Structure 1
């Protein structure tokens, strides 16, 4: 039977799983597959598994329980293997890689930050700072400009927005990255200009949170920072 894989831990890691449910309806029973220094937390994989709220919550609860007791490699929702033997083989073949990664993640948690800037405020700032953009805008408003001016202004503003947001993202990652062991930058979506995860040691978490708040306060109310953490280190497995 197919096996659903939640996490990888050291065999010495406490495995307090008896009161937790696995994914599926009815919920599957959690167990471990061990090989040498490593153990994988698994359950039978239900057929037709989809990312429903209950199953996502069950997956996350397993990670949080293991995280509360020590270091883990949290795997993304939906990972399956053909059977226990396949899981055991993966642990054997990649023992050095997994062991080294557990060492890197030891004593750390993930903090995930997204940031956006108010669009109207950004556009006003561009028109204030850019003489070219301001000139095009005034010419369009006069009604005497060429028909292609709105397109030219739109392209200029788009370039300015991208440049400013790239610079802002670099500033934020640089300021907070000094307090992190690693960072992973992902492509932002929607109105966000930043989507980044930081791997932060527990001893530096308070300093990291303070630095994030100070940075958000410094940038002001036109910026919206959304920070989640501490989380299992999904982005760093």
Structure 2
């Protein structure tokens, strides 16, 4: 988990919101952010898990973990629309009003993630076998031969840059192969940010019944592309990447 330190001052009556679920779920037993008790506000067939907001909301590890623990208890009971860390609402009446107003949209969102979890897969570049890469790439082979024949600093730099680009290119090709295998096992996918080192960052909305198959295919692909791409998976997670941003309560 990557933690970004933030601080948000609050006012009296402000509520911290963890997520929205269908009415009838049990209140989470886990303490919430800053150790606060978590309760449920029910309205229009929905409920929001909330706690009193502390004077300042800071992205401390213990509070991030508390946020996740509350959502974990809720998702164990059924579909949940998880809020990101530090979502606040001015008071209970404002939140109840939003649940009433957005009831149809929120219900649709809940049904879209029912019986599913989020699996996040990342792939990072493996330096790779340069000899094999040069052997397979005609351009690199010619450049390597030219560098051997006329060695020098600039020639070495050009060869090094070309090799680095070749390794990244191979890793991206491997990432496309992995996506082609995993995407059919998911209900939906959501692309995350990538760069020259992390060439794969995708979240998959996976039915709980399909999770073992998803993991097995991922394991098989990790073995097949391991010389080019290091794969990792995080999950099951609350379905953060598959919740419409408009589901978040008004506030900040």
TM-score w.r.t. the length of structure 2 is 0.82
> What SS does the corresponding residue of 1:42 show, helix, strand or coil?
strand
Look up the match of 2:187.
181
CA pair 129-96 structure 1, distance change in 2 beyond 3 A = same
C-alpha deviation, 1:191, in angstroms:
2.9
Q: Is the 8 A contact 2:120 2:234 kept in 1?
A: yes
Look up the match of 1:206.
212
Give a deviation string over 1:58-112, Cα, whole Å, max 9, x none.
1000011011111111111111112222222322232222111110100011111
- Indicate the RMSD between aligned Cα atoms, in angstroms: 2.2
Look up the match of 1:3.
15
Look up the match of 2:8.
none
CA pair 162-86 structure 1, distance change in 2 beyond 3 A = farther
> What SS does the corresponding residue of 2:56 show, helix, strand or coil?
coil
TM-score w.r.t. the length of structure 1 is 0.87
Bigger Cα displacement from structure 2, 205-214 vs 85-94: 85-94
Bigger Cα displacement from structure 2, 150-159 vs 31-40: 150-159
CA pair 161-187 structure 1, distance change in 2 beyond 3 A = farther
> How far, CA to CA, are the matches of 2:241 and 2:186 in structure 1?
13
- Among residues 9, 16, 20, which one is paired with 2:30 in the alignment? 20
CA pair 16-184 structure 1, distance change in 2 beyond 3 A = same
C-alpha deviation, 1:113, in angstroms:
1.0
C-alpha deviation, 1:54, in angstroms:
0.8
1:235 aligns with 2:241: yes
Tell me how many residue pairs correspond in the alignment: 231
Where structure 1 has 5 or more consecutive residues not aligned to the other structure, the ranges are: none
Q: Is the 8 A contact 2:21 2:46 kept in 1?
A: yes
Look up the match of 2:97.
89
Look up the match of 1:197.
203
